[in-house]
């Protein structure tokens, strides 16, 4: 038995014991993450949802409101989701979940192992990557695409309505509010497109291609370089040289930098960009604490707009005034 198989087996054993402790024994308690003010444990209310990443959990919470209990497994922006190792607590949550939301596309494969370790015919699994209408080839970061999150929200709402028919009207109202809240993001992206379409930019990996495309920005960084960094591999020498050349010769106006997937290669690009006064716009794969999906995306778009304006906006305005 492989080391990973042993770990999954142990997680399952501990998860089963924990489920017995919290739900079967006399006086047992429900999921311990659900606490009332003062630390008192209260029973889990409504539909139990587990999300692999916190932005999916946030969307589920917005759609379900008071009728769902949501646990997001990865919520720390300092953790690389590609390298996450599941815990016993994760196994307990997955075992008891009514709905599991995961990204798929080889992004959170650790969840597949947890699901296999605790079969449950009554549990629904929603895979964002499978239902994303705007999915890009070889790019698992579908949550950066607004159209993809609209499709996910519709699917989640459909599942909530099936499980809790008494609150169909409320779920539909929540879905409508969520979709309307995305309008500000679409407006911001359209505004960036109108001002900066065609502007050359650099990316340390593929995460932002779901937005640079709709905004009409011209990504110069070789795609194979972006994919190598995203997959935790060393980029080819020719691709690395091209990325370095674009920065050293100031061919890009902004460097969009994934601050959550950091390697010596990306750090060198960051330092080179800063040394040449090229604006660096940090982005993350996990939603920061205290944010919603919408506020997180809006903050990153605002930072990108500011970076573009600091170097290209003023030049375009001057050119237009000649």
Name the pLDDT band for 45 (thresholds 50, 70, 90).
low
Q: How far apart are CA 239 and CA 133, in angstroms?
A: 30
Q: What is the mean pLDDT of residues 283-312?
A: 93
CATH number, domain 3-181 = 3.40.50.1980
Burial class for 224, CB neighbours closer than 10 Å (0-12, 13-18, 19+): middle
More confident residue, 231 or 321: 231
pLDDT of residue 115: 96
Listed by start position, the domains of the chain span 3-181, 184-321
> Coil, strand, or helix at residue 124?
strand
User: Is the per-residue pLDDT at 60 higher than 90?
Assistant: yes
What pLDDT was estimated at residue 311?
52
Same fold, 3-181 and 184-321: yes
More confident residue, 59 or 12: 59
- Does residue 27 come out as left (phi exceeding 0), alpha (psi in the -120 to 50 range) or beta? left
Closest CA to 300 of 185, 197, 132: 185
Distance CA 226, CA 269 (A): 12
Q: Which residues contact 44 (CB under 8 A, 6 or more apart)?
A: 30, 31, 34, 69
**CA–CA distances in Å: residue 259 to residues 126, 207, 222, 263:** 28, 11, 19, 10
pLDDT score recorded for residue 317: 36
Q: Dump pLDDT digits (tens) for 140-184.
A: 999 999 999 999 999 999 999 999 999 999 999 999 999 999 999
Confidence at 76, pLDDT banded by 50, 70, 90:
confident
For residue 30, is pLDDT > 70?
A: no
Residue whose C-alpha is closest to residue 70's, from 53, 82, 85: 53
Residue 38 has pLDDT above 60, yes or no: no
Q: How do residues 92-143 score in pLDDT, each as one tens digit?
A: 999 999 999 999 999 999 999 999 999 999 999 999 999 999 999 999 999 9
Distance CA 322, CA 317 (A): 9
Mean per-residue pLDDT of the chain: 86
Instruction: Give the architecture (CATH level 2) of 184-321.
Output: 3-Layer(aba) Sandwich (3.40)
The more confident residue out of 18 and 196 is 196
The whole-number pLDDT of residue 78 equals: 77
């Amino acid at each position: 038995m492989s080391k990973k198989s042993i770990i999954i087996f142990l997680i399952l054993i501990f998860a089963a014991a924990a489920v017995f402790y919290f739900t079967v024994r006399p006086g047992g308690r429900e999921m311990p993450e659900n606490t009332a003010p003062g630390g008192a444990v209260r029973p889990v209310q409504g539909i139990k949802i587990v999300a692999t990443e916190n932005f999916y959990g946030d969307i589920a919470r917005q759609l379900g409101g008071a009728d769902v209990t949501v646990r997001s497994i990865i919520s720390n922006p300092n953790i690389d989701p590609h390298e996450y190792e599941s815990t016993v607590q994760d196994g307990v949550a997955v075992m008891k979940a009514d709905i599991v939301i995961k990204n798929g596309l080889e992004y959170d494969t650790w969840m597949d192992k947890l699901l296999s370790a605790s079969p449950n015919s009554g549990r629904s699994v929603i895979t964002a990557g499978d239902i994303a209408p705007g999915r890009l080839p070889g790019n698992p970061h579908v949550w950066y695409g607004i159209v993809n999150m609209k499709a996910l929200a519709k699917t989640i709402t459909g599942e909530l309505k099936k499980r809790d028919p008494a609150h169909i009207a409320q779920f539909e109202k929540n879905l409508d509010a969520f979709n309307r809240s995305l309008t500000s993001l679409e407006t911001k992206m359209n505004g960036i497109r109108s001002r900066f379409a065609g502007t050359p930019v650099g990316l340390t990996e593929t995460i932002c291609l779901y937005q640079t495309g709709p905004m009409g920005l011209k990504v110069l960084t070789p795609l194979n370089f972006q994919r190598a960094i995203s997959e935790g591999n060393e980029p080819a020498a020719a691709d690395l040289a091209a990325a370095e050349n674009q920065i050293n010769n100031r061919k890009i106006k902004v460097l969009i930098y994934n601050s959550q997937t950091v390697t010596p290669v990306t750090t060198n690009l960051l330092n080179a960009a800063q040394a040449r006064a090229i604006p660096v716009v940090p982005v993350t794969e996990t939603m920061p604490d205290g944010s919603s999906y919408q506020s997180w995306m809006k903050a990153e778009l605002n930072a990108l707009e500011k970076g573009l304006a600091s170097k290209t906006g003023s030049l375009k305005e001057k050119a237009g005034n000649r």
